[in-house]
Amino acid sequence: MVKPTPSRFNPDLLARDSTQYSVTLPLGQFSRLQEFLLDDSGELNATFRFSRRKKSVLVAGTLKTSYRLECQRCLEPMQADIDEPFEFVFTKSLEEAQALPDTSPDPVVLDENGQIHVVDLFEDELILHLPTVARHEQIEECEASGHVLFIDAAQAESMDGAPEPLIGQQEQSEQKQSDSKGERKNPFDVLKNLDLH
């Protein structure tokens, strides 16, 4: 049986049986996460169970969402799909959270009433799963926007005149960048050739 999650709850009460909970929330409700997204489309879907370990209450499950971001290669919108497990341990205070051993699941600090809002439960985790560099997975998707072919062709030409196959490997494009740096002309070479006398 799957129960909907109350928007604010006391984990201690929900850990009394092994009920599975689910929640669906519009990403627009996560104000800190919103700063990283193109718009407020998309939603979080999570399913989880509460449990006890010694004196602690834990929650574990999976979260799914899709972020709408700006591709840093072609500057067009893209989707990043997330499907990740999570596990948190609830603590009564920041001090208690800081005293947890390194092996502990990530802490979630409860409010003074021993409660947590479901948005606060997931917001840090959602921010954590943002891609470090947002890019279309396949370069073909970037090329479809019409921007990337132009940039890559210009880069290839400035290198050695022999166009290389346009393969969307990150390593390859970094290699290209460092190569072109190495071959960059010294601007003072131009001055040498000027007849100043």
- Residue numbers at the binding site for Zn ion (CB under 5 A): 71, 73-74, 136, 142
* 43-53 and 56-70 beta bridge pairing: antiparallel
- CB of 51 or CB of 177, closer to Zn ion: 177
Quote the CA–CA distance of 101 and 180 in Å, as a whole number.
47
- Minimum distance from CB of 172 to Zn ion (Å)? 16
Q: Decide whether 33 or 142 has the Cβ nearer to Zn ion.
A: 142
Please enumerate, as own/partner, the contacts of 35-39 that have beta carbons within 8 Å and a separation of 24 or more: 36/67, 36/69, 36/127, 36/130, 37/67, 37/68, 37/69, 38/68, 38/69, 38/70, 38/77, 39/68
Smallest gap from Cβ 92 to Zn ion, in A, equals 45
Which of 23, 71 has the CB closer to Zn ion?
Answer: 71
Q: How far is the CB of 191 from Zn ion (least distance, A)?
A: 40
